[in-house]
Chains A and B, each alone.
Chain A
């Protein structure tokens, strides 16, 4: 499903034990199908918190709209399966790459979907320069490979909006290019990609927003980059 993603949040906060701590105020933007959006900010600025909020994992005031429906019209699992978040580091349990990749297909929300075939998975793994054995233990491959495998896991589920936290952090230039290639292909299909970034990368987005001291600032539009 491709649709406009519209965010109007008054504040995003953390529910601490005794009080609420505001992280970001007045977040407002929208993304049309096919767009790539960057959210930049230094460490601790709240990029991750913002991405988690868009995934309904951190509380906020305001609304997020996907298509013509607000976030509270969706069940949280359905929302999160449509607007999915990928953390910058993963913590895999000891298991084979195959069971790691197919684990989400055991969730009720994905059970109806057809499990991807092994050749499909292998060709995607090749494209992302992952180890080519599905039986290897995920804990034994490198961090960069773990990240690419967890991206692949997300890709297999085909969300409508990708929320990626630091997608290029653990990748060398070759692998950045590979990942970017896949993301661009997804955008061309009408998916929306939102990336949390330290700095602007050599693969610029259509639009960049900056978080500074809890404020959400529009930085620049790069309409013609791709």
Chain B
């Protein structure tokens, strides 16, 4: 049995939204704008997505699938690039990590575990690609952001350890570890409590759609583990590529020298 939601009833969502907005307004948080724009974007994006999906299912062919993957990747990369717009030598690493790890794990999941037929079967490709790439993007962004801010905040310590003969890796390893910790902790928590605290999206979806919960559980296992490993690989790869960009040379690049913004204030503060 499947219950359809009439459109007008969705409008009721405005009640909790308006209420939380009001609360945030009273507390005077800075992200009010981001908050309502995010909600609005979610509504618009999902409506467009539902509409496009309907067409894609209708005209199922290989080019639509490829195009869809490409668009997904470009949007995710664009998001990462805008996030790291002012951080030099990070945009390449994050996009490369996202692309390599995201697609590797996606095709492992689709071809290796689920065995979809044909490989571009859009019914499976669509939701799973979104999940794997979205999660990889998230962990790449978290780990890189943390790593870069650790590099920036610990310039003096890194410099002083290099100065005593530490290899670049020895000087930076603590920050590689803390970047991986920061990006993987949420994923590890989520994976550890799945089924106990949270019933994840795809399983909820399949159960609502009337699938045998045991079958749904098998899907969920495959997806959880693929996402966990994709997140981990993405975080490791991006951090190491950034590390290589700064330290993979005889004379390491100084983070503050390479930065675009405020370099005038900081270029000479070493003195």
Contacts and interface: CB of A to CB of B under 8 A. Distances in A.
Interface of A: 14-17, 21, 43-49, 52, 55-59, 72, 76-78, 80-82, 84-87, 89-93, 103-104, 106-110, 150, 153-154, 157, 163
A77 B167 contact: yes
Contacts of B271: 43-49
B156 A108 contact: no
A104 B165 contact: yes
B250 interface: yes
Given A47-B271, A49-B270, A89-B156, A14 B254 contact: yes
Interface of B: 88, 154, 156-157, 159-167, 170, 250-254, 257-260, 263, 267-268, 270-271
Given A15-B257, A15-B258, A57 B159 contact: yes
B202 to A, nearest CB: 42
Contact of A81 (B154, B165, B254, B268): B165
Contacts of B88: 17
Give the 10 A-B CB pairs with smallest separation, nearest first. Answer: A81-B165, A85-B163, A91-B156, A109-B165, A48-B270, A107-B166, A104-B164, A80-B165, A44-B271, A77-B165
Contact of A57 (B157, B163, B260, B267): B163
Contacts of B268: 44
Given A57-B159, A90-B160, A107 B270 contact: no
Given A76-B250, A87-B160, A16 B165 contact: no
* Residue among B163, B250, B253, B254 with most chain A CB within 10 A: B163
Contacts of B165: 77-78, 80-82, 84, 104, 107, 109-110, 157
A58 B251 CA distance: 6
Contacts of A72: 250
Given A87-B159, A91-B154, A150-B160, A14 B267 contact: yes
A81 B164 contact: yes
Contacts of B253: 15
Given A57-B252, A77-B166, A84-B165, A17 B263 contact: yes
A82 B165 CA distance: 8
Contacts of B259: 17
Nearest to B268: A44
Nearest to A79: B165
Nearest to A106: B170
Contacts of A56: 250-251
Contacts of A106: 170
Contacts of A81: 164-165
A7 B259 CA distance: 30
A59 B156 CA distance: 18
Contacts of A14: 254, 257, 267
Contacts of A154: 164
A104 B160 CA distance: 10
A179 to B, nearest CB: 18
22 contacts: A14-B254, A16-B257, A16-B267, A44-B268, A46-B271, A48-B270, A49-B271, A56-B251, A57-B159, A57-B252, A59-B251, A76-B251, A84-B164, A86-B160, A87-B163, A90-B157, A91-B157, A93-B157, A107-B161, A107-B165, A109-B166, A110-B165
